[in-house]
Chains A and B, each alone.
Chain A
Amino acid sequence: MKFKLKIWQLISALWLLIILLQFNRLIELAVLWIKYFLLCFNDFGVAISLLDFKLLDSLLALIFFIVIPLLLISYRRRIKFLNYKLNFSNGVIIILLITFLMAPIITSENPDFQKNLSVTKHLTPLSKVKVLHLKIEDNYESTLLNKFLIYKREIIREVFDESIIYADSMGEMAPDKIIYYQKNIMKELPVEKLIENNGIPLITTKTFLLGTDEFGRNIFTRLVYSLRISLLVGTGAVLISFLLGITMGFIAGYKGGLIDTVFNRFAELFLAFPVIYLVVLILALFSSSLIAVVIILGISGWMSLFKIVRGEVASLKQKDYIQTAKLLGIKTNRILFKEILPVIIAPVIVNLIFQFSNVILAESALSYLGLGAGDSYPSWGAMIQSGQEYITKAWWMIIFPGGCLVVTLFTANYFGRRINKFFNPRLDK
């Protein structure tokens, strides 16, 4: 029994899923937008100065969310790929992209948020904790700006939160105080400190979908944000490789002669070299940061692209129509774009996809060895490295990031193979 679903159906299903599960979050973000608009009208300068990455991210996520169904509805017939059959790799890619774009909607927490370690450390997947919501004293003047800021702080979570307390379980209810347990230690709070909902103090339950790590941080959230880092590093590095490879390939193929030989030797050197030694050496000599990793991985991947482009350019150079074009005086740039690019597009794309998967693998290996982007960004490799310390106690710290890595890499490789087959069809028996 084969599912004959189409891509647009998957997208719609995911969209509906997000609405169902994260309805509250969507409303919160919408209200945030409205308040921000009001602030803009009121005091444009301040509003612009407040615009930092996190705010922009959340606002954009909501926009994507609204735009997607509109796109689906209006362009469903016209855009071809929306109507492709769904298979494993397509599906995974769609899920990854949606997670990337709408991360602030999918998970409302901050990946570095931690609180009450005694309760939240090393929780197994699907464990629950009780959340006590505290009242916050409001000493601020209630201007529009302050209202906005307070609301923003609630929505765009920071790494700390003064307004909640986690507890393992609740004790008996007394009329004037709340008794709760944190790891078998009994603690109590006067009732007035909690927010009340119709006279009943507000105590909710939180479920950690995939468990927590050694700092009590939600693994699911960290996976989502690590995905962003991996995709970013992948895209950045591939872009650099692409630009480098095409430029050098074109120059080498077109000019030929000494430059050609020198570039070829260089390419051989890089191809022959176990790149990880070079990357590790460079990251050791210079410090390791996100930008450095992207640049290094980009620089270490230009070779195969170079060979493809150079090969094509060198062979095409001899062709008559190119010679004619040159004689006609058409600029080299135009020759490149109009004649050569369409020919090499196919192998280049395949190559880029494989390069993408290599970069993600390399980035995770580097963060596993401790040389990655640093600890201000969560990364699958780093999660696996800290998980290895607790391998006997917290298997989920390794399985989930490992699983994500395997699925992503597998999809990229599988997708690359399919595209390859698409461009070079073979006669099947």
Chain B
Amino acid sequence: MQNNKLDRELIPIFYIVGRMSFSKLFFIAVLSSAVLFIQCEKKTPAESNQVVIGISADVQTFNPLFAFSVDEGSITELLYLGLFDFRWDEENGDLKSYPMLAEHWEWAKDSSSIKIFLRDDVYWTDGEQLTTDDVILSFDLFSDPEVNSRLYGTFRNMYTDESNHIDIKKSFKEISKFALTVYFPDNSKPKLNEMSIPILPTHIYGKIKRDELNTSETNFNPVSNGPFKFLRWNRNQNITLTANTKSFLYKPENISELIFKIIPDYTSRTMQINKGEIDLMELVKTEDISDIEKNQSFNFVSVVGREYDYIGWNNIDLESLSKKNKIEPHKLFGNKNVRIALSHAINSQEILEEYLLNYGEIAVTPVSKIFKKYYNPDIKLYDYNIDKAKKIFAAEGWRDTNNNGTLDKDNTEFRFTLYFPSGNPLRNYASTIIKNNLASVGIEMKIVNLEMGSFIDNLYEKEMDAWMAAWYIPIPVELKPYWYSDLEMTPLNFVSYQNKQIDTIIDELEQKISDERKKELYFKFQEIIHDDQPVTFLYWIPNITVYNKRIKNIHITPLGSITHCWEWKISD
């Protein structure tokens, strides 16, 4: 450090600050804080008739073609209606269809075609009227491989070409501006819910090049036909939808504005709903329910039976599949008794009790309880029993012969890695407990946490020995994509489970059979799956939605919390 004085011509920041007297600065500080504290009132949604929903992540698009996430799906469904409306029939455990954009429809006697008559009072937000052209174009776009929408490839019951693109000429015939006939190929089993796609405007999307749809500006300023229209979007902060007064669903006494507030952090979301800054939030953790119950202003609804967690044991040996293209049972998990022993060794009951606080239910079969007709109540859980598990392992030849604490057989140690997608605290919690559970029978399990994209890639490529994931089950019941033996046809059968009996059952279910027979088949299906244990079923996860009591006329069903939110009313 030098002793000489430096040039004083220049005025560094400190110099300026140093020149101001302390008292001046102090005064300014006090003044600003005073103003700040005046501002300190609680902010609640100022107008009534406005509902604020907290969501965990921002959306990337308002175009239903590319609405991949659950939130994107719910929001685009409010903007773009479909031909039919579906409500959940609690008693029968089934979907019931109602008219929406379609006023009424007539099936042909042999179900080979359907005549659909549209409403004539539906207008797009820019004033144009919704016509048959819009319907036909929407089917075109959703099935076009160039567009690669989220529903691409799913129109199996319609006339399609080799690239799974719907053949427009064969499938649709326009009767009038508001009516059309849809034709289906022979031997197809068309269902109404497969045809209820969001309808898009021809006068906007017909004019954009198909490969530019993904990045088009209209995705962020949508022209829509639904009960709500897009008002504004502050990225990563909030999305505001306002009631579409021209919609046929509009009622002035219902809510007028719907705001989605983006709060990625779960704790912040719960704090905000407690403070009244948001009115509704889904996926509440079970341990927060007691706090919410204390707060008299909230209701909560727990919907169980849409999603279950499971541990997938790869039934076949991956190496022999990739190298020799032969299907051989997996060295560790190929044997069904071993899988049963693993189910005995995992204490899913404890996880359900301690983490989910008994909200949710133990899962024993892939058929959900909400399908009241088909659920087999006699299937019993493989209870948590370490001794039983150890005996089965010993009977199958797994013993600790080299005293290192791990079971082994034929020079193979019982050691594997469990993968699961990150970001789910329940799975983080469960994985630790399962690791310890299995350690007590002598199985060494490593935990690897992958992010969702790579996890899904690995699932499809069948590169993992064991994983923990969830299935969000479709409504109505569908078994084929998950449990059918033809591995080429059913890419969702990630464990590569194969059983001829199951195949016969599934094939028969696709025919037209009596309800009695259907029930028999579903029951048998569940018995066989239970016996074979291709995966270890863990628990049905509750989706707990908390909402402010001021929201009336809200129905939370397995279909979702904010479906039909245009019917909500506010009463203070």
**A residues neighboring B (CB under 8 Å):** 49-50, 52, 112-114, 117-118, 121, 145, 149, 158-160, 162, 214-215, 375-376, 388-393
User: Can you list 19 A-B pairs with a CB-CB distance of less than 8 A?
Assistant: A49-B402, A112-B432, A112-B436, A117-B354, A118-B354, A145-B403, A149-B403, A158-B440, A159-B440, A160-B437, A162-B386, A215-B429, A375-B447, A375-B449, A376-B447, A388-B267, A389-B425, A392-B291, A393-B287
**Residue of chain B at shortest CB distance from A112:** B436
CB-CB under 8 A from B435, the residues of chain A are 159
A391-B267 CB under 8 A given contacts A149-B403, A160-B440: yes
The smallest beta-carbon distance between A382 and chain B, in angstroms, is 11
Q: A374 → chain B, closest Cβ, in Å?
A: 8
Q: Assess A114 versus B436: contact at CB under 8 Å? Given A145-B403, A214-B429, A391-B267.
A: yes
Instruction: Give the residues from 349 to 372 in chain B that come closer than 8 angstroms, CB to CB, to chain A.
Output: 350, 353-354
B220 at the interface (CB under 8 A from A): no
- Is the CB–CB distance between A114 and B433 below 8 Å? yes
- Closest-by-CB residue of A relative to B350 is A117
Q: How far is the CA of A408 from the CA of B267 in the complex (A)?
A: 29
Contacts of B425 in A (CB 8 A): 389
Q: Residue-by-residue, is B398-423 near A (CB-CB < 8 Å gives 1, otherwise 0)?
A: 00001111000000000000000000
CB-based closest 5 A-B pairs: A160-B440, A117-B354, A159-B436, A159-B439, A160-B439
> Secondary structure of the B side of the interface?
helix
Contacting B432 at CB < 8 Å: which of A49, A160, A375, A388?
Answer: A375
A320–B479 Cα distance when bound, in Å, is 87
A contact residues around B436 at 8 Å (CB): 112-114, 159-160
B107 at the interface (CB under 8 A from A): no
Q: Write the chain B residue with the least CB distance to A122.
A: B287
Interface residues on B, range: 20 to 34
Q: What B residues does A215 contact at CB under 8 A?
A: 429, 432-433
Task: Please indicate the chain A residues that have their CB under 8 angstroms from the CB of B437 in the complex.
Answer: 160
Interface on B for A, CB 8 Å cutoff?
266-267, 287, 291, 350, 353-354, 386, 402-405, 425, 428-429, 432-433, 435-437, 439-440, 446-447, 449
In contact, A121 and B354 (Cβ under 8 angstroms): yes
Residue on B with the closest CB to A215? Answer: B432
**Distance in Å: Cβ of A115 to nearest Cβ of chain B:** 9
In the complex formed, the residue of B with least CB distance to A183 is B353
Nearest-neighbor residue (CB-CB) of B270 within chain A: A392
The answer to whether A118 touches B353 (Cβ under 8 A) is yes
A166 and B29 CA atoms in complex are apart in Å by 57
User: A145 to B402, alpha carbons, bound, how many Å?
Assistant: 12
Q: Which residue of B lies closest to A160 (CB)?
A: B440
Chain B residues contacting A388 (CB-CB under 8 Å) are: 267
A158 vs B437: C-alpha distance when bound (angstroms): 11
> How long is the Cα–Cα vector from A325 to B432 in the complex, in angstroms?
62
Residues of B contacting A214 with CB < 8 Å?
429
Whether the Cβ atoms of B266 and A158 lie closer than 8 Å is no
Q: Which of B386, B404, B428, B439 contacts A158 (CB 8 A)?
A: B439
Distance, CA A390 to CA B266, complexed state (A):
11
Residues of A within 8 Å of B266, CB to CB, are 389
Output the nearest chain A residue to B436 by Cβ-Cβ distance.
Answer: A159
A226 to chain B, nearest CB (A): 16
Alpha-carbon gap, A308 to B203, bound state (A): 70
Residues of B within 8 A of A113 (CB): 436
CB distance from B446 to the nearest CB of A (A): 8
Give the nearest-CB partner of B354 in chain A. Answer: A117
Chain A contacts for B350, CB-based, 8 A: 117-118
> CA–CA, A52 to B405, complex, Å?
12
| Beta-carbon nearest neighbor of A390 in chain B | B287
With a cutoff of 8 Å between Cβ atoms, the chain B residues found around residue A393 in the complex are: 287
Q: Name the residue among A50, A117, A158 with the largest chain B CB count within 10 angstroms.
A: A117
| CB closest chain-A residue, reference B265 | A388
